[in-house]
A and B are shown apart, each in its own frame.
Chain A
Amino acid sequence: MATLEDTLTTKRTPLYHLHQANQPNATGWQHLGGYAIKAGQDETQVEPTTVAPACGLTDLSALARVGLRGKKAATILSEKHYQLPAAPNQALRQEDGSLVAKLSASEYLLLGSFADDGERISRDELAWQAAERAHRLPDAYLLPRQDTHAWLALTGSHASDVMAKLCGVDLSPKAFAPGHVAQTSVARANAIIINASQADLSCLYLLVDSASACYFWPILLDAMQEFEGKELNIMALRHHHPA
């Protein structure tokens, strides 16, 4: 498998250095969406049955994401065949595995799928950027979520227990079902939380200010300790995401 040097890219995710420092001699680096990501010590570790502990934290920041807001946002998304949630603070899993969250009456957040490494969202974003430059995207405004936000996934049955140590919103499965979205304060900083659980995998997505990602990561790990939480690499999680 590739070494870090092999995968040097022009792009960096917010936690790139933190992962590198935690795993200086890792051989398991590979590309995802043009970013170098930590894939694991070696391939044999990527065993679907063993890699999902009761409590795991994964950095998904290399996957594509973008925001779209404005009077025409819904129309534009529908034209691109996105299924839209009915009300604000809801999220809808798309057929291809990507996710669309509605954050206000006219704001949407699109999260890329494992299935195509976020390719669909990246492609659409590029097209919208071109349209915006050519003034062909009236009443809709792109939000650069890929750069403003880091994307973390907290998995396992203890996800809401971990969050209860950091967040004043009840995120237990009964109160915060799959498809629910909470824009709230986590460890005194802003975050968007999405219940992205599917099949048998409980999963909370956390979108946090990319500049605060280095603040959040160790705090989450600390809160996970009592549940024997572990860092999971993105490839391991991928196995659990049927998409």
Chain B
Amino acid sequence: MKIMNCPLNGPRNISEFIHGGELKPMPNPTTCSDREWADYVFYSDNTAGVITEWWMHVASSYWFLAERHTVTDEILRTFDPQEIFQERIEFAVEEKRS
């Protein structure tokens, strides 16, 4: 069984984690086109290379991010999401969509 290094709990069996999907930016839901939203929700680039993914350590309910190479399945780095998400995210009051 693969081992993943949790930034909070250290190296653990991969069975202690759940996968939370690839990290991808949400398009502005009030201004993006239907196609852009569908692309965000339903499509994956299926990159052959390093991608960033959400993982959660179940026993501690701790979400973090992992950089993983999809070809070798090597986990290169795991880190707290605060590294990327530092600011409080606001959603603007709805604007008229064209």
Contact = CB atoms under 8 A, between A and B. Distances in A.
Interface residues of B, number: 13
Contacts of B12: 168-169, 184
Contacts of A103: 60
Interface in A168-197: 168-169, 182-185, 190-192
B58 A185 contact: yes
Interface in A51-73: none
B62 A104 contact: yes
B77 to A, nearest CB: 19
B9 A89 contact: yes
B58 A104 contact: no
B13 A168 contact: yes
Residues of A in contact with B, size category: 10 to 19
A77 to B, nearest CB: 19
A34 interface: no
A167 to B, nearest CB: 10
B59 A191 contact: yes
Interface string B25-63: 000000000000000000000000000000001111010
A88 interface: yes
Given A88-B8, A89-B9, A168-B13, A185 B59 contact: yes
Q: Which 6 A-B pairs have the closest CB atoms?
A: A183-B60, A183-B59, A190-B59, A168-B13, A184-B59, A185-B16
9 contacts: A89-B10, A104-B62, A168-B1, A168-B13, A168-B16, A182-B9, A183-B57, A185-B16, A191-B59
Interface of B: 1, 8-10, 12-13, 15-16, 57-60, 62
